[in-house]
Structure 1
Amino acid sequence: MSLDPLIPMNAIITKNSELLSSEIDNEIVMMNVETGKYYGMNSIGSEIWRLLDEPKELKDIHASLLSNFKVEKATCEIEVQSYLKHLLQENLILITNH
Structure 2
Amino acid sequence: MMDVDSGSYFNLDSIGTVIWERLASPIRFEALYQDMHARYDAPLETIRVDVAALLSQMLDHRLVLIDQP
- The answer as to 2:22 corresponding to 1:86 is no
Structure-to-structure mapping, 1:71-82, within 5 angstroms? 71-82=42-53
Structure 1 residues without counterparts, runs of 5 or longer: 1-29
* CA displacement at 1:63 relative to structure 2: 1.2
Root mean square deviation of aligned Cα? 1.1
What letter corresponds to residue 70 of structure 1 in structure 2? D
* CA displacement at 1:81 relative to structure 2: 1.2
* CA displacement at 1:32 relative to structure 2: 2.0
Instruction: Kindly report structure 1 stretches of 4+ aligned residues shifted beyond 3 Å.
Output: none
Percent identical: 28
Which structure features the higher share of helix residues? 2
- The answer as to 2:31 corresponding to 1:55 is no
Give the secondary structure class of the aligned counterpart of 1:71: coil
> What is the count of residue pairs matched by the alignment?
69
- State the TM-score, normalizing by the size of structure 2: 0.90
Larger Rg computed on CA atoms: 1
Structure 2 residues without counterparts, runs of 5 or longer: none
The 1-side partners of 2:5 and 2:56 are apart by 19
Which structure features the higher share of strand residues? 1
User: More deviation in 45-54 or 33-42?
Assistant: 33-42
The 2-side partners of 1:76 and 1:49 are apart by 15
Greater relative contact order structure (CA < 8 Å, 6+ sep): 1
- State the TM-score, normalizing by the size of structure 1: 0.65
